[in-house]
Structure 1
Amino acid sequence: MALLAAFWGAGCSDERTSLGNSAESGNPEIADVLYFADGAFAARVRVLLVPDDFSVWRDSVDSLWTTWTDSLGRFEFSTLPSEIFTLEAEDSLSGMQLVQMGISKDSERENIKGYLENTGSVRLGAENFADGTTGVVYVPGTTILRPVTVELGNIFVDSLPADSLCPLIFRSDSGDSLEVNEPVLVVADSVTSVQSHSVSLRFRIPLDMTSSGIALDEDLRNFPLEIRLDSSDYDFRGLERLQGAWNAVLCGDTLPLSLSYADSEKGIFAFWTRIAKLRTNAKDTLFLSFEENTEASLQSQGNVFSDGFIAAWHFDEGDSTARDATGNGFDGIPEDLSVADEAVAGGALYYDGSQGAVTIPNSATGALDLTLQTSVTFSVWVKMEGLDRSRVVFGKGASQYHLMYLAGTNESSWLYEIFTDEILDSSSNSARYWYMDS
């Protein structure tokens, strides 16, 4: 049952010595040292020399220009692949990289960086390509080749060495291309934006309280509304990379809004908002929007479940905790439970029918002491795997209250119950009505 992120120095004493010709000097063409960003020797790191006309589509790096540093970060090459070349180095353990393009035989050592750093990322605007377009990004004259997908009008290229890369080219699987001919400076542990624009998303959510909709026969105040978005609404891949704020607006008023569940990879989002007044026999439109590089307003940060709610559990946090969305502190502890494979919205917990529960440790006193309440309303979503046995869904103490599923329904479906009961005594027998999700 389921309930609801210096080389070029130590080889010679004179750091200003140019790269010489081995036939004239009697030395290797390159013999120097690589370091990590913290100054430690870059030991046992793979080093490549790549000719400037190298193409990842047709070429491979000759073994003559592939080597490994020793325990002190030293490496050497006896020949050069071309007059102008690229030096690449990568540590397979840490993932740190170095790329230095445009090196020539006359390069001064003091102009060469020799430190392996953490990689960075590039965000490349690609508004002329449809979201979901796949392809690769590459840098001619290097071995850099990254498979990418257009997401939210952008191409996010990860694991790039921290250096100035030029040109940077995207080629889609269909053959279309996008080329950046200005140097792109990649910074370690950062995202460099190139020709990109802020992302704005807007969703229109109709609210129909007339007879053609939910046929609301009385006004509802402080009504909590769940808003669900999935991949049929939009391709959300890449949204987890962006910083921004969601807002819900109804009739010009910004509503309190809480993002309860988010899985950008699957494109599933669950929000809760509170509507001050849901009007009988009316039609309204709620707008849900996301704006990159903005902060949530004070109105949207309001507590959705602050008025009249004792506790609310969405089961969106996994199987380690069940947070009380009201802020009243009735957080639950799941025991012998797992995350359900499906949910009516957001997340859910799976109960095997023989053990497992979510226990509310501090519920013996206070608002969850139901003996102090004159009336209480419960609502719950539940999906039964088997219909042959009655099961307790919600229980409070040995005798205060128990909400049960009564065997006898003929379909295995998500069921919803909203039930109001007067709290009288442990012998109170009240009818239960189940409704299938419409």
Structure 2
Amino acid sequence: MSETHAAHPAPDPAHPAGANSAPPAFEERGSGRSPETPGAADLRARAADLDTADDLAKLRTRFTLPEDLVYLDGNSLGALPTGVAERMAEVVTQEWGENLIRSWSDGTWWTAPERIGDRIAPLIGAAPGQTVVGDSTSVNLFKALVGAARLAGEGRTDLLVDAATFPTDGYIAASAARMTGLNVVPVDPDRAAEAFGPSTAVVLLNHVDYRTGRLHDLPGLTAAARAAGAITVWDLCHSAGALPVGLDEHAVDLAVGCTYKYLNGGPGSPAYLYIAARHQQDFDSPLPGWNGHADPFAMTPGFAPAEGALRGRVGTPDILSMLALEAALDVWEGVTVEAVRAKSLALTDFFLECVAAYVPQGVLEPVTPAAHAERGSQVSLRTENASAVMAELIARGVVGDFRAPDVLRFGFTPLYVGFADAERAARTLSHVLGHIYE
């Protein structure tokens, strides 16, 4: 869901060397700082104090990260948890290599989708038995949207979709609408509740906007949709594992999300589908695969859905990726989402403070809301030549990503990102932009 970049060892940003020292598009400018603005030494000292006081700082040892790299792209691909490689070697050599097909019946393979779903459930505020892991986010979204339209029943005509949604969500919504006879109606999430009415069948919204990092009002919008008699489907790709979601608390109907971002499941790791318990008996999946059958091995010509969220299963699960994800979730042992959220807000606040101190006003435009209630776990900054800026940041060992046409994205994963990382990223950004402060 994002561009990939090759990371390179980082030279000291205070002493850039060679042709890669700065893109030619940027010029040296005056500091534009007032005398009371903190300097680099002050902010480095603050960062060190904050890291020392951080109860989550020790969790960085649960991840394998290159030395001298600031990794701020966990909102695209999470870092590698240390236990995954060993677990994968065991799965490949023992469970597959020696046990072969017996691992389906004698081992842990068959129950993986629901078992791992129950491990994700606390991170999205769901009770057990409502979350099943498998397939991609796009496939799960298709299941959820068509299933939601069928739950909504007849007489409703509209599928409301976040107008700024990730493109694939829009493509899937259009296909689901064609299948169910609904009309796709784009809505601004900030004004979506005004569009809910008797014609609204389904509402598809992103919890966090992937470009801007804006956090939308899941409790309020879900309540408004419910009052209008509509079924909600939430995309949690940029919020699960970064902040509390509260699916059960806020009576969300259906939700989907990926596991390779803040859940650190690995590239292409399987996604998940949440089906609220109250809807499970009536949830009619448009992809009735044999794995979602009440009796998969009966091989009957007619489909009888399994009980509960298991009816969200389709085909044979991708066991290698599934079990890698399960091992990755071990990093959450003893960690609460609330503690992660508190650090996320502190990190993004500090990063924005450092950017403001190091880069004169007018060079960068923050597009992520300042208000905590409206901010996810990323900071997006708009600037000219953003693609070149990000390429140079990566060359200097600060890995974020770029969104066309002019947005720099920096994802803050509190499990392994610290305050010194935030300060260094802002300082390196100032060097790349030609504002060199010491």
Q: TM-score range by the shorter chain?
A: under 0.3
- Compare the two structures and name the one with the higher strand fraction: 1
Report 1 or 2 for greater relative contact order, CA contacts < 8 Å, sequence distance ≥ 6: 2
TM-score by length of 1: 0.20
| Structure with larger Rg | 1
- Compare the two structures and name the one with the higher helix fraction: 2
TM-score by length of 2: 0.20
